[in-house]
Structure 1
């Protein structure tokens, strides 16, 4: 069981509208590009002929060899000679015997030369056997097989000399060449109009487009164009799409590469690839170099395991030198993207390299609606589908999440045998994205279904009773993913600041399920584990970061890792920025906040016991109800004389909790 409190964020996405390719204008007097050199006919057949020759040399002797002969031991040979069954023999200088019997069959044998036996020749002469002496020697096939490795090595070096790198310093076999994907000026078809929302971000990077289109305009005014722009934002917010839109708007060459493409096991290869990439950009200037996930090579230097001769540090040093060294008028702009700006080296972010840092946040409600309209193109939507309502119900979704939501809705429609997507399909798709697939086989026992209904009723009633809490959208006791039941709350508007009263109500709603179990059953259960973990996390941030505790005062121990409200930091520091005594005070304040929230939740539900029982019974019958049903139950079951007001009045601000 869990309570979903989705908080607002912001974002962007793309549209795949094909555009006709544009041929870049060629300056007058410039000769047309030379077509690539075509191989001659003998060059085309050279490799197949070499493969066929190797096949014949290796497999031919086995295919055309004579049938296997009978192998006879030396004792058998002497017996056959004494019996007069041998007509002729051929003996080589190593004791190998090849003979023919009187019946025409052939045989082979071996004379043990170490015994020094001289009776064999006398017996052969006595039996009138024809004797032939031969000298062992290699055949042409064996000679060619012995020389074949030399031919292969010589051919390999010859091929590398003609088609490989011009020098070994650049790396054998092309190791030192850049792996950047070069997209010429006529290729990028994405424009800023294909990116939904993000008007501020597009305006921020539009100056880069103006510089690439008309660099003389900036030089005439004495302004220096930006050398590099780095885009920072959560995953799935369309940073790569914005980079392609910049290339499409500027109509210049676009070199795209990932940060991991520079990292190799050979020392110096990464630096060589950086040099080669900038050389290619200079040849195609004006151009844009886009490095995705630049934190793979731009991490801070001097850490553990980062020596002066380490490959990644050499690659970073070469990147810093190239960005600071190329000509201002060369028409090269470096564009990078990362979702971990705190891990980048300070020398990489200084002015003169990456002059601007553009934040690409998660989309707000209006931007989510625009993104959904883009992903709805090509899909048949029912009249009851309102994209604004869906955007309001998806706070914190990125563009990738919204694309997945639209696709899951289409899959639900196909599963139902329809080609039109209705509102229910998108609602189910949202639940699947948030919670996971509903497991129909995960049937609960009757007592468990009652406990889940009581638990979720507590969440829903407190969300409706608390003044600053987000309204209830839906309550269900159908298991989905790891949750046995869910109470969904949707904010009425985008929030950017959270007041102390809102946080206290948030804690009260989080502990509403456990409070309902205490009121109805007199004891808690394991179903509140996720609620307790989330409430403890929020209370801890209220005390440590937001300064809402009189015991600590206006002191904030903020996390170095950016994260949203209720989300855990990605990393835990090895050394806390405060003492053990301060930690004891923090623990006491967190426990006091949670205890107060539980007491308030228990008092409100005890005062509205009739509404709690009625809502739980409705959930047992219908399994899923919307927020209007919760409000209706509260209206039909008023509290006792002033008890609700007294319970609600216990919501004392957090700053008074520790006063004595």
Structure 2
């Protein structure tokens, strides 16, 4: 019986935190004081010295000869100052390098009192201070930054040195229990995934229930799935449901150009989590730091490997009873190091797949919240027409539909808006100026009519929903098929019909126009890819037998790991594989040509209908087949000379 997380008691109020001091004013005050001291030391003497005339040495000798000097004071560095007999003052400088004794003789002759003084140390002190002032300022700022970091950590805050002193600090965003507003109810679908994640929340709220049964809570939960499936949204919902602090960080935030910084940030992250226990650590895109060691690296001293080693040590080292759980998300699980995935580190791997039809309808209902819908909008039909769409794709679909409504000066979204948005997402923007030449338009109509008729004639093919010859993006036309139900297993008959439908366009060109064109390039590539999987992965080749060479990786998740190792089979086997792929594609083309030749009249009717109306739905295809079977005369498209076919 499945359980969901219980609400639990209300969270305790956060402890009183001392108010954070604002140190910006202190920095400004220190800088202002330093500038003022510098100005005073440089310009001070000139500010507090009165305006005293400075005499040249020869002029001073003349004044002494004229008996105008009353007293003289001589400094150790040759500086001269004195008083005139009329009360005035003067300054001068002795040429100490010349060693001229004339001034002393003249002063003795005139009985002028002479006083000697020592050299003042003020100038030398000022020069020394000016030389060391920048260094003193730097040390002062570092001391202040260290004191600030100590005060912040002592107050229980997440701050650190920041800037040049914060390379080793964690860059995690800390979300307290009262702040998140995302809940599991905001995540549509994925009930099984939410149940597993909810058990983590339940363990953090009431660990005694698990301890009573002898159960231990998980150390780590790894969420695996294609991009856009809502892994980060689920993590935010955990933050909203659990009344515990939530530390969120991306894998790339650990890696820096400086060796040892990543390991330091890992230590700091887990230290903060332990200080706030019980708590949750969420590492998004963990493959950025948790990749396999020894592949693509430079050895044991490579920064990323050191960071991964520290992460492994921290996940082994923290006390499980403290209530610290690590959540991680990735869309490339095959690249992760096996040591990271073993039990005791990431105990659970939760697959977040692409949503099924019912889940897509629920996700669409979330994204249309707050938007006005016309009565003709059926979310079930929209969900049925979007197989393989992720949650992010569906959000983009609804947004494109809203943009399309704004272009028409409307605020209500219609079914046509959603259909146009789906074509925009799958095929690209439809450009009205991208007009086809008459012969190209005819060839595209024949091509798409062939796809549609083969799909309608094959028993196991998905029903045709719409056929259009309007160019969109790189596609000159499109035949859309909608599955009646979600498929998880594909039979050999279904795959054979799929190949025939893919080659139906090329077969129609051969039947009607007598030659193929470049319009079938994408069809051939996709048909070859399906045939290759039938031969190498699904064991559907009689020549090769029940042997599968899987590419590996999690289902629905892109994988490029095994490709780095080359083919897992020999060249001789490759030749057999190539022959079997070519055989399957040729048989599918021959089957499509045979079907269209049997229904040549219906092919002409449908192609002509497409040339006239440009877009028809699946009911028109069925109606054309019935009318052709009943022998009703409708003009069929005729073959033209080969030189009229598109190049």
Do both share a fold (TM > 0.5)?
Answer: yes
1:162 Cα deviation after fit: 2.6
Alignment match, 2:19 = 36
Counterparts of 1:7-156 in structure 2, within 5 Å, are 24-26=11-13, 32-39=15-22, 43=26, 45-46=28-29, 49=32, 149-156=134-141
- CA 171–468 in structure 1, closer or farther in 2 if over 3 Å, else same: same
State the alpha-carbon separation in 2 of the partners of residues 638 and 484 from structure 1: 30
Aligned twin of 1:214: 206
The residue aligned with 2:365 is 373
**What residue number does 1:346 align with?**
338
- 1:569-584 alignment, distance < 5 Å: 572-584=563-575
Q: 1:37 to 1:559 in 2, by over 3 A?
A: closer
Q: Cα offset for 1:583?
A: 0.6
What SS is found at the alignment partner of 1:572? helix
For residues 279 and 510 of structure 1, the distance between their equivalents in structure 2, rounded to whole angstroms, comes to 57
CA distance in 1, matches of 2:23, 2:381: 65
Task: Call closer, same or farther: CA 1:279–1:263 in 2, change over 3 Å.
Answer: same
571-580 or 528-537: which moved more? 571-580
Q: Any residues of structure 2 matched to 1:444-523 within 5 Å, and which?
A: 444-523=436-515
Aligned partner of 1:163 in structure 2 is 148
Give 1 or 2 for the bigger CA radius of gyration: 2
1:353 shift after superposition = 0.7
How far 1:160 sits from its partner (Å)?
3.7
The answer as to whether partners of 1:306 and 1:313 remain within 8 angstroms in 2 is no
Asked if 1:426 is matched to 2:409, the reply is no
Distance 1:170 1:48 in 2: 20
Aligned residue among 172, 176, 187 for 1:180: 172
In structure 1, the residue matched to 2:606 is 615
Q: Distance in 2 between matches of 1:390 and 1:485?
A: 21
Find the residue that maps to 2:329 and give its secondary structure: strand
Asked if the contact 1:165–1:172 (Cα under 8 Å) also holds between the matched residues in 2, the reply is no
Match of 1:549 among 535, 541, 563: 541
Q: CA deviation at 1:25?
A: 1.1
Distance in structure 2 (CA, Å) of the matches to 1:400 and 1:538: 26
Tell whether 2:263 aligns with 1:274: no
Aligned match of 1:593: 584
CA distance in 2 between counterparts of 1:55 and 1:519 reads 94
Question: What is the CA–CA distance in structure 2 between the aligned matches of 1:360 and 1:245, rounded to whole Å?
Answer: 14
Q: 1:570 to 1:278 in 2, by over 3 A?
A: closer
Cα distance in structure 1, aligned partners of 2:559 and 2:199:
37
Q: Distance in 1 between matches of 2:556 and 2:441?
A: 33
**Distance change in 2, residues 1:467/1:340 (3 Å):** same
| CA RMSD in angstroms, aligned pairs only | 3.2
Describe the shift of the 1:276–1:23 C-alpha distance in structure 2 as closer, same or farther (beyond 3 A): farther
Measure how far apart 1:54 and its partner are.
Answer: 11
Distance 1:513 1:54 in 2: 86
TM-score (normalised: structure 2): 0.78
The CA deviation at 1:171 is: 11
Counterpart in the other structure of 2:3? none
Q: Which moved more, 1:32-41 or 1:316-325?
A: 32-41
TM-score relative to the length of structure 1? 0.77
Q: For residues 639 and 139 of structure 1, what CA distance do their matches in structure 2 show?
A: 116
Matched, 1:400 2:392: yes
CA deviation map 1:594-640 (0-9, x unaligned): 11111111111111111111111111111111111111111111299
SS for the counterpart of 2:381 is helix
C-alpha deviation, 1:34, in angstroms: 3.1
For the residue of structure 2 that corresponds to 1:586, the secondary structure is helix
Relative to structure 1, is the Cα distance of residues 240 and 564 closer, same or farther in structure 2, using a 3 angstrom cutoff? closer
Shift of 1:157: 3.0
How far apart, in 2, do the equivalents of 1:448 and 1:41 lie?
70
Q: What is the distance in 2 between the residues matched to 1:208 and 1:40?
A: 41
CA 1:40–1:472: 2 relative to 1, 3 Å: closer
Contact 2:180 2:236 in 1 (8 A): yes
The 1:441/1:570 distance shift into structure 2, 3 A limit, reads farther
The 8 Å contact of residues 404 and 421 in structure 2, kept in 1 or not, is answered as yes
Among 350, 355, 366, which residue is 1:363 paired with?
355
Partner Cα distance (1:409, 1:570) in 2? 37
1:145 CA drift (Å):
7.2
Equivalenced residue count is 540
Which structure 2 residue ranges, 5 or more long, are not aligned? Answer: 1-8, 44-122, 154-159, 632-647
Distance (whole Å) between structure 2 residues aligned to residue 41 and residue 313 of structure 1: 39
Tell me the alpha carbon deviations over residues 89-113 of structure 1, each in whole angstroms, 9 at most, x when there is no partner. Answer: xxxxxxxxxxxxxxxxxxxxxxxxx
Deviation sequence 1:241-283 (CA, Å, 0-9, x none): 1112122222111000000010011111111111111111111
Deviations 1:38-77 (A, max 9, x none): 24796264266269769989xx9xxxxxxxxxxxxxxxxx
Does structure 2 conserve the Cα–Cα contact (< 8 Å) formed by 1:563 and 1:569?
A: no
Q: What does residue 297 of structure 1 align with?
A: 289
